[in-house]
């Protein structure tokens, strides 16, 4: 019996995936961070805090990537046979 918090290893072949493209057409992204601030009233510590959110950024155009904004290509929706 497996423990509830254990993750199973899944073998996924790259050729079974679909590339993600920026709206500029680039396929290469770099991880950057967006800084966010939370006020003292909403903070669990009762103090104003800052935190980071990782965001992929296109290295060609510098635009942050948010899911659903990628270029619309036929590769995006592969036909399952």
Residue 47, pLDDT > 90, answer: yes
Is 79 part of a structural domain of the chain? no
Is 24 part of a structural domain of the chain? yes
Residue-wise pLDDT for 22-45, tens only, equals 999 999 999 999 999 999 999 989
Is 78 part of a structural domain of the chain? no
Residue 53, pLDDT > 80, answer: yes
Is 74 part of a structural domain of the chain? no
Is 29 part of a structural domain of the chain? yes
Structural domains in the chain (count):
1
Long-range contacts of 50-56 (CB under 8 A, 24+ apart): 55/31, 56/29, 56/30, 56/31, 56/32
Q: For 15, list phi and psi in degrees, rounded to 5.
A: -70, -10
Q: How many of the other CB atoms lie within 10 Å of CB of 22?
A: 22
- Look up the domain containing 60 and give its range: 19-68
**pTM greater than 0.85:** no
Is 1 part of a structural domain of the chain? no
């Amino acid at each position: 019996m497996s423990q509830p918090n254990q993750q199973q290893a899944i073998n996924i072949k790259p050729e079974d995936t679909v590339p993600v493209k920026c709206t500029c057409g680039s396929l290469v992204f770099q991880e950057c961070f967006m800084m966010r601030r939370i006020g003292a009233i909403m903070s669990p510590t009762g103090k104003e805090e800052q935190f980071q959110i990782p965001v992929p950024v296109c290295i060609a155009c510098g635009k942050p990537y948010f899911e659903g904004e990628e270029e619309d290509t036929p590769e995006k929706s592969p036909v399952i046979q």
